[in-house]
Structure 1
């Protein structure tokens, strides 16, 4: 035995021990040290008031110990037991990443298990800010590995007038390197309980996707009619198949549109109620492209409480790219088989919805001409062969199983030019800017179709016979020795020679069908990658009014200290007053970061100008406080049955992620 006192140092293999006094058994290598004990291992440093340890096995016990974990997490405990390399068992433990005498935050627990480079398991943890307890959990795992780790995420707490107190909790499951999952639990005191499952996967051979499931159980209210429970099913899947085929599946199905409107916090998704299910099978090779799709689309209109549904069972297309026969003649073709159904939900129930099957084949000969630098001409000729398995009975809208064959042809000619350009040079004689003016003109003729009134279409049958004309202005700069378009401006209009068979056939101006389309214009400005301006407009010459106006502007991105996005649009049908589809709205979304104050703020506002009312507004504040951040969100959903104000609070803690809104977010 060796007894030492006063600034004791023991060096053994890779171990260094410092203490006020120590007792060492030189045969068993057991050591007992007291007072300001510090033990240094190759990748660990632990301090304690008292320690009993074997220097060979490095197993032992420490009293009132404290130390640092890789490399910014500090801990202390009444008792620390070291059993295996890198594994500690704590009693009455506290952990924090703060170095202040009174830590800005800490987690205390009755007991804990620390596994180096992996995790800390804590039982009965209590989270403190300064000396104030914030919340308690029966169990918590704090990940230490920089890789993904399985465990609970930090919860989200909230309150709203219609849903009451809310609590959301996520559990993250790191299954394998190529797949993971998130399990979600939502509690709304006034409405009920919800649970979700999100599974993400990526396999070799181009197989990948995401599956989302959610179920909500409504709380019974004796004073109101019971609400049916709701569920969501969402799937995105991509897969490569043998023979170079690709399979894509996209499903977004909800059992209740009212549930989405009241609970989905993605504003743009909540106000447009859609269900979709579609599966694609595609293949492209050589000059050919094959595409097959089975799909179902449903759109619900709350104003009329009706849904319109389209089914494609299936839609098959087999096309070719342009194949050079001899200069300057090219051949291509398009062929399809289509079996579709279309109508309001009530029409399906009454079995009087529209439906049709058809075969189509359209070969095409193309004659491009570009021998003159300032003028290009593309012309084409294409017969259109169609066979319809069903048709309307003569002079009726009754669908009968009488086949109908149609044959017509199309002629198309597109002129661009004369193209005028000018190059502007800088002081050094280098080209700085190029301005290009491109007038264009196109003519399209499709011969009449016999018995066109018997062809079943979803809306109207029309044929093309028009001229389209316009002008485009383009401005290019040279960047990295490559031209880059930074500004463009254009106008276009269409004149229909046969307005009674055109897309405008359903409208009247002084009893006549309009021959001219709206004049459409656009302006695009992209001076830099993060800055842009898009403006478009359509002017109706018969009613001297704009049928549509839109503006989109971007200043910076959410990663910058300041960013702003503005979207404004207005659309009306000038031929029909008070039509349901008229829109006039503006949306603003922006944010600012103040690094000096460790503060981030974002806000969004959506306003219905036509009705003079707000649709949605929200503000989010994030305060980064050393290794964790507080997030406070205030959202107001004006569009819901009863306007709802939500208050949400969440925070991130070191390596533990935050619980997010499973049913959407707002753009934040």
Structure 2
């Protein structure tokens, strides 16, 4: 939603007009026209007689070669006709006066009356106003002028056209038989055509009997309309949003914008839900400098349907400190029992299970090719995780990634951290400190163009202040099952990655807009090894994250990747595009293949799932994805996801995807599972008004999970 409010009085014949105001957004700056490039080759220059002393211009109005002149002209051919008291510029003529500029093929100025006329590819510029046309009549001592066959921008934002455009004063224009919009292109998303209209910069536009067109199609006729013509933030009401959901009923969300000062503003609003009540929202934003900014958000909702009260408070701040240091902070608090997620429009908000508060300080390591972070993080459980807590304070990390050793081909990396943990999970508390360091050295070798090999070797040392009391204690021990006794792990690790061999073949020919096809077939293999550490010590580790889960390893990961490239015909020639890519990957655990323990109850299963991943986007309009996971021991597909998305830029989209997962619980049909069908579609009526429909269906139970 734009921060620039719409504060105007509208008179109209039909209530539909209020929705049409949504198309008022900021347009891009007018693209440079070829006629603007007239800076070179202007050799002659002639200054006009200085104005009277009492009206002499400021220094910024003195330009070109005559620094004492109030106006000056340059052109490829410059003539002074003293008998008729006129100056004529032909061919790339450029005239500047009173802070304004006129460029044209032909300019003629009467030196006595100071009246002037310019014809042929004229460009008029004054501040942020830029208008082109076929002819312009003006006076060097006046702000008034007339432009014929005009089109251009007012205030660098509002695009107008007109048979005649009159500049009445510095910030006021009159347009005869013209159009008005803020959109780009020959067929803008919206435009108003009016026989007569006036524009007050940083004020309002008054349109008489305007006709509204949507992408060139007439949509509505109005007797009169007023619109804001503002380039600065303004306090007022924003465009409301309207929607409908089967659970919430009619949805209406008005907003009020408050431009507090130059560096801060705020937005207040309410989300009205017909069946559930009103949710109140507030947001405060500030930009103290180019390096310091932040915002504060809060919501409050008393749900009539669920008979509960929901609230949340969020804030963020980021700043760059002297010496190249950086600081960022995010605070996040919310009501615990927030079971309903249908109000959230953002996917991350819908699925989040906890609040997340973070502080981070990043010192500048001069001369060290790495990053140092001093941080704090606190996550508190929501909904079904209410009561859980995970905190890292302090959390210090020093990381170096693939830095070259001298002038050699060797690279070194370092991952290290020192952390104090506090965790409450399922009403069990864990408190410990941990230090971890993992330096490594790698050597990439490019033997032949189609084959690359990278060898890596590293050491890892980890130290814990606490451990489990006995090896048979579960992974989330209670305080009685923990003891304050140091535990350390020393281990080395290595890997060998092979990228290739790679084969390719080009197929000449064309198909539709595509020209020539290149098929690339490549193989990828990685062998990873870390020796087994003492099994008893390993079972004493209290697992917190993936650092604690780093154990012995003896695996091979391998895959094959197919890629098809083609040339897509464009307006300026051809561009290379990846038609599709398909990868097939799997891993094998050598240690599992050699295992001899408990084979009768737990047979060896050294091979992992086979994963097929297909991605295709032949043109920008179409995107197709498919992923399937195959269990080689059950000889069945356990999961697959297929999606098709049609994208019409910012104007429309159509999406359909299906996700299916198999359940293997005892007592259930092995073919049963969870199957969700998601459908979404959207169409942009204007740049600010967008219709959207979403639905999610459970195919197994044949029920609608969500619809809006």
- TM-score of the superposed pair, with normalisation by structure 1: 0.63
**CA contact 2:198–2:207 (8 Å) conserved in 1:** no
Change (3 A) 1:282 1:392: same
1:83-122 superposed matches below 5 A: 98=210
Change (3 A) 1:607 1:274: farther
Q: Deviations over 1:591-610 (max 9, x none)?
A: 34689xx9974322112334
Distance 1:160 1:493 in 2: 43
Once the two structures are TM-superposed, the CA of residue 384 in structure 1 deviates from its matched residue by: 0.9
One of 239, 261, 285 as aligned partner of 2:319: 239
One of 517, 520, 536 as aligned partner of 2:608: 517
Change (3 A) 1:405 1:164: closer
Pairing 1:446–2:508 present: no
Secondary structure of the 2:323 match is: helix
1:503-542 superposed matches below 5 A: 511-512=602-603, 514-542=605-633
Distance 1:586 1:455 in 2: 42
Change (3 A) 1:386 1:526: same
Higher relative contact order (CA 8 A, sep 6+): 1
Q: Deviations over 1:18-77 (max 9, x none)?
A: xxxxxxxxxxxxxxxxxxxxxx975488xxxxxxxxxxxxxxxxxxxxx9763499xxxx
What does residue 503 of structure 2 align with?
A: 420
Number of residue pairs aligned between Structure 1 and Structure 2: 492
Q: Deviations over 1:179-224 (max 9, x none)?
A: 43211135568755542211233343332333211123567xxxx9
One of 360, 372, 375 as aligned partner of 1:293: 375
Pairing 1:544–2:635 present: yes
Change (3 A) 1:261 1:143: same
Once the two structures are TM-superposed, the CA of residue 369 in structure 1 deviates from its matched residue by: 1.1
Change (3 A) 1:557 1:358: farther
Unaligned runs of 5+ in 1: 1-12, 17-39, 46-66, 74-84, 88-93, 109-119, 121-141, 619-668
RMSD: 4.6
Secondary structure of the 2:506 match is: strand
Pairing 1:492–2:585 present: yes
Distance 2:337 2:222 in 1: 43
Change (3 A) 1:386 1:434: same
Secondary structure of the 1:70 match is: strand
Distance 2:249 2:510 in 1: 67
Change (3 A) 1:68 1:449: same
Distance 2:620 2:701 in 1: 35
One of 198, 206, 212 as aligned partner of 1:70: 198
Change (3 A) 1:273 1:152: same
Unaligned runs of 5+ in 2: 1-140, 145-166, 175-194, 213-219, 474-480
**CA contact 2:245–2:707 (8 Å) conserved in 1:** no
Pairing 1:332–2:413 present: yes
One of 263, 266, 275 as aligned partner of 1:181: 266
Secondary structure of the 1:527 match is: coil
One of 456, 460, 466 as aligned partner of 1:380: 456
Q: Which structure has greater strand proportion?
A: 1
Pairing 1:317–2:397 present: yes
**CA contact 2:329–2:358 (8 Å) conserved in 1:** yes
**CA contact 1:508–1:514 (8 Å) conserved in 2:** no
Q: Deviations over 1:596-626 (max 9, x none)?
A: xx997432211233443212122xxxxxxxx
Secondary structure of the 1:498 match is: helix
What does residue 206 of structure 1 align with?
A: 291
Distance 2:320 2:263 in 1: 17
**CA contact 1:547–1:574 (8 Å) conserved in 2:** no
Distance 2:667 2:413 in 1: 44
Distance 2:515 2:663 in 1: 46
Distance 1:320 1:473 in 2: 33
Pairing 1:401–2:484 present: yes
